[in-house]
C-alpha cells in the first residue's frame, strides 16, 4: 500500500519548496526528507509528512531535487567536488528507493549536446564541464541501477527566492550585474512556479509516458541574456546594465558562471506542452514582474 503520492528530496530548497506547494494544491499526499529539526518543523507545518534520510517510505513518485552547494565563484574545481557529492547522494537515494517507486531524476539542460535542446536531443558524450559534470555523473549512477526513471531537465529557474532574491535582483537594482558579451545569447528560462507545476503535472502521467524520453522544462521563449537583465533592471528602477567582455566576467564570477550565462541555449518544450501542460508565466514579460512583486511584498 502506497504511503505517499509524492516523496520529495530537497523539499526545503528553492524548487523543492515550490513543488511542495504545487502538490498540496492538487490534493496529493506529500512526504519529504528533512536533514534538520528546523526543516522538519517547517515542512510539517505546511502539511508534509517528514522522514529522516536515508529512509524513503512507500511512494508512487520520488522526486530527487538534492543540489550540492556551490561557491559564488564557479570554477571547474568546484564542480568536480559537487559532482562527487551528487554521485554519493544519488547512490544513497537508489539504495533507499522503494521497489514500487518511480524516480524523477532532475537535472539541467546543460546535459545535452549543443543545438536546440528538446526531447529528441542527445546527451553530451564528451568530457562534461560545469553543470553537466554534476548532472551526467548522477545520470550514469541511475542508469547503472537499471531502475526505470523519468529524466527531467529544468532550465535556469528564476523567481522570488534563492539567487534571484539574494544576489541577482539586488545587483541589478544597483547596476552591478553586467551583460556578459553582447548579450544576444538565448537563455533557457523557467519560472519556479511553472517548474514545480510541471513536475507535479508529469507525476500524474503514466510510467510508460514519462520514461519514454527526457523532458525539457523551460518556457521555450527566445529570451536573450540582455533582455532578461534589462527588463529586470527597469522593473527594479535600476540603471541599464553595462556590457563586459566574457574574459572579465570570468575573472569576477568564475569561468563556468560566465560561460554558462553567455552560452546560447535555445530550447523546445513541445513534448511537455503536448501532455496538456500550460505555463502560468510563459515568458519573463509576466514572470519577472510577478517575482519582483512577491519580493517587495515580503520585504
> If you write DSSP's letter for every residue of 76-110 in order, what string do you get?
HHHHHHHHHHHHHHHHHHHHH--TTPEEEEEEEGG
Report the C-alpha gap between 10 and 2 in whole angstroms.
21
More confident residue, 249 or 194: 194
Nearest C-alpha neighbor of 152 from the set 104, 101, 222: 104
Residue-wise pLDDT tens digits, 229-249: 999 999 999 999 999 888 677
> Residue 25: its pLDDT value, please?
96
Percent of the chain with pLDDT over 70: 90
Report the C-alpha gap between 24 and 40 in whole angstroms.
17
Spans of all domains in the chain: 4-298
Residue-wise pLDDT tens digits, 250-293: 766 666 666 778 899 999 999 999 999 999 999 999 999 999 88
Identify the three-state secondary structure at position 199: helix
Q: What residues pair up with 74 in beta bridges, in sequence order?
A: none
Cell numbers 496538456: residue: 276
Q: Which CATH class is domain 4-298?
A: alpha beta
Q: Report whether the peptide linkage leading into residue 270 is cis, meaning its omega lies within 30 degrees of zero.
A: no
Percent of the chain with pLDDT over 90: 72
**pLDDT at residue 120 is higher than 90:** yes
**pLDDT at residue 63 is higher than 90:** yes
**pLDDT at residue 71 is higher than 60:** no
Amino acid at each position: 500500500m502506497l504511503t505517499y503520492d509524492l516523496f520529495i528530496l530537497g523539499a526545503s530548497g528553492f524548487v523543492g519548496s515550490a513543488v511542495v506547494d504545487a502538490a498540496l494544491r492538487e490534493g496529493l499526499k506529500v512526504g519529504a526528507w528533512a536533514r534538520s529539526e528546523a526543516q522538519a518543523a517547517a515542512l510539517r507545518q505546511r502539511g508534509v509528512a517528514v522522514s529522516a534520510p536515508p529512509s524513503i517510505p512507500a511512494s508512487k513518485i520520488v522526486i530527487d531535487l538534492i543540489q550540492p552547494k556551490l561557491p559564488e565563484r564557479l570554477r571547474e574545481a568546484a564542480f568536480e567536488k559537487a559532482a562527487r557529492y551528487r554521485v554519493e547522494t544519488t547512490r544513497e537515494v537508489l539504495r533507499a528507493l522503494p521497489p514500487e517507486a518511480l524516480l524523477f531524476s532532475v537535472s539541467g539542460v546543460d546535459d545535452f549536446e549543443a543545438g536546440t535542446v528538446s526531447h529528441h536531443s542527445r546527451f553530451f558524450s564528451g568530457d562534461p564541464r560545469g553543470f553537466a559534470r554534476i548532472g551526467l555523473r548522477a545520470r550514469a549512477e541511475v542508469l547503472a541501477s537499471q531502475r526505470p526513471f523519468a529524466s527531467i531537465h529544468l532550465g535556469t529557474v528564476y523567481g522570488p527566492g534563492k539567487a534571484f532574491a539574494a544576489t541577482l535582483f539586488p545587483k541589478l537594482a544597483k547596476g552591478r550585474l553586467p551583460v556578459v558579451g553582447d548579450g544576444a545569447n538565448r537563455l533557457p528560462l523557467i519560472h519556479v512556479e511553472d517548474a514545480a507545476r510541471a513536475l507535479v503535472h508529469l507525476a500524474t502521467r503514466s510510467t510508460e509516458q514519462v520514461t519514454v524520453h527526457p523532458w525539457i522544462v523551460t518556457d521555450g521563449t527566445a529570451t536573450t541574456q540582455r533582455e532578461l537583465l534589462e527588463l529586470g533592471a527597469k522593473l527594479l528602477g535600476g540603471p541599464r546594465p553595462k556590457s563586459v567582455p566574457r574574459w572579465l566576467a570570468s575573472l569576477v564570477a568564475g569561468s563556468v558562471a560566465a560561460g554558462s550565462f553567455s552560452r546560447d541555449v535555445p530550447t523546445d518544450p513541445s513534448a511537455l506542452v503536448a501532455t496538456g501542460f500550460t505555463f502560468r508565466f510563459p515568458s519573463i514579460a509576466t514572470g519577472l514582474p510577478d517575482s519582483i512583486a512577491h519580493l517587495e511584498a515580503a520585504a
